[in-house]
Amino acid sequence: MQPSFSDIVNIGQCCFERFIDSSNAPEIATLDIELAGCSNLSGDYVVGRVSPPNHTLFYSLKGEGFFRTPSGNFPLNDGQLIILPAKQSFEVKIVSEHWDIIWLNLSDSHMWQSLPKDIATVIDHAALEGLHFAMELLYLERNSDNRRAAMQIVSHYLRQLTLNNRSAASNKLQIKDRHTSRLAALFSAVDKQLQFEWDMENLSEKAHYSAPHLHRLCIKNYGRSPKQQVIHLRMQRAKNLLVSTQWPVSYIAHYVGYANVFTFSKRFKKSVGLSPSAYREQHGINA
């Protein structure tokens, strides 16, 4: 089931935002920036959008936030940038005690056609502090010449985000590698706690993906569902223990997450083709 989204604005009294719009910085129209801001957040902060017409960029200066999107869930920490495509719903909330960010709404126009269009994208070590200072200057400066100078800095940083065909392909590869790394990290953690009752809820929570997205990624990368991948890891560990130890089958069953030895034996035979005892007899130390 796809996650649901709604338009939400829950911004508490301890949040301070400096908005940059056409009234105080009309120059932003030259870069198809509809709205931007510098925010210092504490306490309550939850913002949700349903199919926004523009691209939304969030850059985390200090602290941590959390994003929920149709393509997965993403924490955002110091120095990370998230690009949320136009027409893709999202929800963002504060996680840390304080969270300092800058954000921009970019028109879904030809100027920004190189931005990711399909899924939310997180860029590590984006190094956008210079963009932050330029935006603060845009907000404060009343002299139009000085604002135009600040816009040159804004343009420099935003232009770096526009990608030619080669870098776009490279970016897609980086996204793929990031997903692969996150899956590997998830199932490495599972392999260290096979006795834990892993289900879709805690697998999704640990991976920071929605359940449907985690399922799609597992099928694509492993040819197995998340649940099947957990079973696969349990059976691999069980085979190793049957071969390399003299532990009782009931002990091995508990060790790999099965409280009932009969359930374990049934699953093992279905996966391996032999009962645990028969597998040990054929492949064990004394075979």
Burial class (CB in 10 A: 0-12, 13-18, 19+), 132: middle
pLDDT digits (tens, 9 = 90+) for 35-55: 999 999 999 999 999 999 999
What average pLDDT score do residues 143-168 get?
80
Distance CA(107)–CA(100), nearest Å, equals: 24
Q: Tokens representing 60?
A: 């985390």
pLDDT at 201: 92
Inform me whether the pLDDT recorded for 192 exceeds 70. Answer: yes
Distance CA(78)–CA(61), nearest Å, equals: 5
pLDDT digits (tens, 9 = 90+) for 26-37: 999 999 999 999
pLDDT at 160: 80
Q: Tokens representing 153?
A: 């800095």
Q: pLDDT band at residue 75, thresholds of 50, 70 and 90?
A: very high
pLDDT at 245: 87
* 6-15, 205-214, 277-286: range with lowest mean pLDDT: 277-286
Distance CA(84)–CA(1), nearest Å, equals: 21
Fold match between domain 8-162 and domain 164-287: no
Inform me whether the pLDDT recorded for 58 exceeds 80. Answer: yes
pLDDT at 208: 86
Burial class (CB in 10 A: 0-12, 13-18, 19+), 177: exposed
pLDDT at 163: 54
Inform me whether the pLDDT recorded for 164 exceeds 70. Answer: no
Rounded to 10 degrees, what is the CA torsion of 224, 228, 231, 233?
Answer: 30
Inform me whether the pLDDT recorded for 216 exceeds 60. Answer: yes
Q: Is the dihedral of CA 127, 35, 137, 155 positive or negative?
A: positive
pLDDT digits (tens, 9 = 90+) for 221-258: 889 999 999 999 999 999 999 998 889 999 999 999 99
* Sequence letter at residue 153: I
Distance CA(241)–CA(29), nearest Å, equals: 65
* Sequence letter at residue 162: T
pLDDT at 285: 58
pLDDT at 159: 87
Task: Name the average pLDDT for the chain.
Answer: 89
* Sequence letter at residue 174: Q
What average pLDDT score do residues 163-173 get?
45
Inform me whether the pLDDT recorded for 209 exceeds 50. Answer: yes
What average pLDDT score do residues 62-73 get?
92
What average pLDDT score do residues 199-222 get?
90
164-287: CATH topology: Arc Repressor Mutant, subunit A (1.10.10)
Every domain of the chain and the residues it spans = 8-162, 164-287
CATH of 8-162, one of 2.60.40.2140, 2.60.120.280, 3.40.720.10, 1.10.3720.10: 2.60.120.280
Residues facing 104 on adjacent strands: 36, 57
pLDDT at 174: 53
Distance CA(43)–CA(229), nearest Å, equals: 39
Of 110-124, 150-164, 261-275, the range with the highest mean pLDDT is 261-275
pLDDT at 165: 32
pLDDT at 221: 86
Residues whose CB is less than 8 angstroms from the CB of residue 287 and which lie 6 or more positions away in sequence, other chains included? 280, 281
Inform me whether the pLDDT recorded for 284 exceeds 80. Answer: no
